[in-house]
Structure 1
């Protein structure tokens, strides 16, 4: 393609992204949205789709500067998609942990606590800086921080693959696979304010630091204490990851430990091997391991999590098997199936895992055509997958949530390896047909996977999980409930415990009102509530019952009245024991008398 034609093509792509962002910005959310996909105007998706089509084709067919433009176009588009809650002016996005993170950030901003008092303050510190320096509201600052932390994932995945393989096709494919955002599974990793998930997007930065260290072999420009600039980069990126979330730091230490073991075995078994030319990672593994240990063991929250994992391993009916059985039963009751959900959420990852697995097998059998240097890096990462997968099995038995977080980290490594593996697969296919035909097949396959990946990057009813959009009405409703409600009266939710809103509004340090969800807050007991016994639906005591548009969407539309019915919710309006005391378009609170 002529350069002038390429320039026009790139201009069209970037213009399409810009127009999509402007249209999305001009159509802000005005009410609760159960799906950001459905609520965003169709013309926005047309613009993004056009930009991604150009990005995929140019990333595969162009080289050098032009390929860089294609990769930048795709990364910009995906970043825009990830930033839609902020672009469309959501008040906040995220419930559960996200609301507690909002509370911690509020505590830091208000001086109730210092960043160093948090176990992992990195994410909150960025949002606090945006507040103090830019005057950006805390809620919006956190949503912007999601995008800030996400960008390194899109930048460093292709950079790592360039260091490993140096092949233009591999770089382009790695970039496209990174746009699928495979680490997000919406079970335990989420696109939003969820620091464990956010930390996954910084892992490629640490991996790049190690690959650069192994490749550069710097012997000059030494820093004090014999450090090379690349060693210092390893420590700095590792500590940065620790400050965002320590669980991913554990995985990095395991990754480095596996590399160290591979290097040791190579040095004891071979006299001539590419790994022998690489500087060792023993010291880096030890230093980062010590840093993590000192940081984690001194924290009570980490100790409690470790104890919970050990207890879960040895207890019956705890672990992934029980969790899967429970989810499968619930899905069947609402007309879904585990197989359907797996295809929607994990087909991309399954396809990539299969291709990468076959590629690793060929490398280990000596049937691959990759050069010895690339093979060494592939071996480093593939050997590391063994203990990382072992950790997944351990988590799956003990704490299923941690297991799916572990899948997120493994997905980062698979994304890197996918660039090399798919490039070799396309090269082999091109030898059978033709290069243009092989590239076209790759574009179609990757394009289809990209669509599926981006369809599930956010929670939505398509995966039986409504958007965690927090509106102005919901926020103001809870603010009124917490300010004017009786402190001695429990605040009780419809299917969920509302105590997280106390964190978000008053800060976690002021959590004494609703606290740890004991007698101060909770959710109504479904059987009693559905039978019309509202006064006995929460331990027989009087309570303030709150219900939001999010609650009704989840329970009535998405869950199809699996636990709660619309009839029972409507009947509380006319019950003698319930009085509506707060109401707006998306929030209601009732004062319900107790039996006692």
Structure 2
């Protein structure tokens, strides 16, 4: 091919990238100009179709430019690549790096849709309590160290003070920042291990899959453990840098100090994550100790040991938790549940799974269906990660494997060490905390899966024939298609929606205003009642309670619209919202509460509607009138 033909290929890539960036800008504008008018059951279906088309176009362009080869120059080289070391031929801003930036911007618009579309807040349950704690810190009624994990709340208050945004949007921005940390440091971590920008391309799109987010104990909403797990990508990047630091320069390195400081931040973000990381770091330290005894001249033995950093993390955890007995109680509970299972043969975990399966079956779903919707991308990457670990353990004679073997084994040890923790949580009754461990495991799976894909490409092509092969990032359209399919499958489930039999965690203006009015003008001696702990959580969010509110009652499914006055011993305010209705009737398919029950409330004797908007209704339940 002539050099003229090769040169003519570059303008087409530049034009495609320009179209991609323009598409992202237009998409963000369209999303902003289509704000939510009320509660939205699904952010996917209520966001305009043009927004999704724009994001699909932008991500498709990013994948095409990043993975599909350009035309060959006269010397046979791909015009979009540089030398064999992966360095760009035209400086830093090559088309491939711009493609990563385009993909990152598309993911930014996707993840920030609740902010861009003007949601008052995004997140129910724990997220509302976290909002209340952030409010309490901002108002000075509590200090950060009163909380078990004040990380996201302190950052929220800082964002609120610096940007002047509302506390609700400041907390949503804090959640978004944790995603950015994950997207940035997963590729940097892989780039440190492999030192090849082609691996960074793969790792970047792997991070876009957001494998740790499962909507089961790991969320895109304010949830301290979710943000802490995403934040851990920074910790693992520094961990890899620390392993490869030159120990001859100084006894204390800048990377070591940065790793220690990040460990402090991890404990503050969530001590439970720190406890899981202690298992990981101690396991890695043990492997390093064995390596120094068995293969003193090997690559692993030459790396910086993690002994000091591991002990530092243990000390941090013990100091922090000594002031909070809460975590001691958690440890006792879960260990006790595991012992009970072993000694007494209780099967609470199996019973819980069976109940969930029965509930899904009642509304037309199944465990297999929900597994495929939530975990298929995780399964694919887990297979890749497992294969890489086995190859690293048993295969010898490969220079490439020798270079990545230490980190592969470290990440593999981390996964093995976390399996018992997963099992202990799984055996506890009424707990989904094992998905928190699963989320952390998916960080390692993301890293290992990206390495495995890069290794497969290298294996099929050979290092010297990288650009000529069709099995590599720069010459494999099939790889772009594979990532496109995985992105569609994964991102379709990271926001809760009826697609996964759950409602989107949108909190509308009318919900907040309705609860604010209720707490302002209610009789202080009369408590609230609602569905699925809603009033307690909104009490936390609106009033900034130092301790979680627990006095408001749930309405049993057999009572709503039938005999409310007989359910309560004292008068109550009953709160029902559009969110309650859409969740129970549409998302949950009337599993517990039916449309007829909601309609019957206003006609029940002793129940009077005293506050009503399009999406918020408050009733007064007069127990004495019901008795008469």
* TM-score category of the 2 structures, normalised to the smaller one: over 0.9
> What is the distance in 2 between the residues matched to 1:483 and 1:366?
69
2:370 matches 1:336: no
Output aligned runs, 1:375-414, within 5 Å. Answer: 375-398=405-428, 400-414=431-445
Q: Which moved more, 1:80-89 or 1:303-312?
A: 303-312
Q: SS of the counterpart of 2:609?
A: strand
Output aligned runs, 1:229-248, within 5 Å. Answer: 229-248=254-273
2:328 matches 1:303: yes
Cα 1:570/1:19, change in 2 over 3 Å: same
Output aligned runs, 1:174-185, within 5 Å. Answer: 174-185=203-214
Cα 1:84/1:318, change in 2 over 3 Å: farther
Correspondence for 2:237: 208
2:193 matches 1:167: no
Correspondence for 2:11: 4
Correspondence for 2:387: 358
Q: Which moved more, 1:357-366 or 1:20-29?
A: 357-366
Correspondence for 2:85: none
2:455 matches 1:436: no
TM-superposed CA distance for 1:556, in Å, is: 0.7
> What is the distance in 2 between the residues matched to 1:180 and 1:141?
24
- The answer to whether the Cα contact below 8 Å between 1:495 and 1:555 also exists between their aligned partners in 2 is no
Q: Which moved more, 1:460-469 or 1:294-303?
A: 294-303
- List per-residue Cα deviations over 1:478-529 (Å, max 9, x = no partner): 11111122222221113444201111001123x6xxx642xx3121121133
- List per-residue Cα deviations over 1:220-247 (Å, max 9, x = no partner): 3x4xxx4211110110111112222122
Correspondence for 1:484: 521
- List per-residue Cα deviations over 1:313-372 (Å, max 9, x = no partner): 245667532221111010000010010000000000011101211121122111684341
2:278 matches 1:266: no
Cα 1:338/1:368, change in 2 over 3 Å: farther
TM-superposed CA distance for 1:15, in Å, is: 1.4
- The answer to whether the Cα contact below 8 Å between 1:312 and 1:318 also exists between their aligned partners in 2 is no
- The answer to whether the Cα contact below 8 Å between 1:60 and 1:169 also exists between their aligned partners in 2 is no
Which blocks of at least 5 consecutive residues in structure 1 are unaligned?
A: none
Correspondence for 1:327: 356
Cα 1:437/1:228, change in 2 over 3 Å: closer
2:494 matches 1:457: yes
1:283 to 308, 312, 315: 308
Q: SS of the counterpart of 1:442?
A: helix
TM-superposed CA distance for 1:251, in Å, is: 2.5
2:25 to 18, 21, 33: 18
- The answer to whether the Cα contact below 8 Å between 1:256 and 1:281 also exists between their aligned partners in 2 is yes
> What is the distance in 1 between the residues matched to 2:353 and 2:322?
31
Q: SS of the counterpart of 1:541?
A: coil
Output aligned runs, 1:412-431, within 5 Å. Answer: 412-429=443-460
1:526 to 557, 561, 566: 557
Cα 1:269/1:367, change in 2 over 3 Å: closer
> What is the distance in 1 between the residues matched to 2:30 and 2:49?
10
> What is the distance in 2 between the residues matched to 1:371 and 1:291?
35
Output aligned runs, 1:145-164, within 5 Å. Answer: 145-164=174-193
- The answer to whether the Cα contact below 8 Å between 2:123 and 2:506 also exists between their aligned partners in 1 is yes
Output aligned runs, 1:99-118, within 5 Å. Answer: 99-118=128-147
Correspondence for 1:94: 123
TM-superposed CA distance for 1:311, in Å, is: 3.3
- The answer to whether the Cα contact below 8 Å between 2:247 and 2:304 also exists between their aligned partners in 1 is no
Size of the aligned set, in residue pairs, is 584
- The answer to whether the Cα contact below 8 Å between 2:415 and 2:441 also exists between their aligned partners in 1 is yes
2:536 matches 1:499: yes
Correspondence for 1:131: 160
The alignment's TM-score, normalised by the length of structure 1, stands at: 0.94
- The answer to whether the Cα contact below 8 Å between 2:540 and 2:549 also exists between their aligned partners in 1 is no
- The answer to whether the Cα contact below 8 Å between 2:388 and 2:408 also exists between their aligned partners in 1 is no
Q: Which moved more, 1:162-171 or 1:38-47?
A: 162-171
2:403 to 344, 363, 373: 373
> What is the distance in 2 between the residues matched to 1:371 and 1:356?
14
TM-superposed CA distance for 1:123, in Å, is: 1.1
Cα 1:102/1:60, change in 2 over 3 Å: same
TM-superposed CA distance for 1:391, in Å, is: 1.2
1:48 to 55, 60, 70: 55
Q: SS of the counterpart of 1:401?
A: coil
> What is the distance in 1 between the residues matched to 2:582 and 2:549?
26
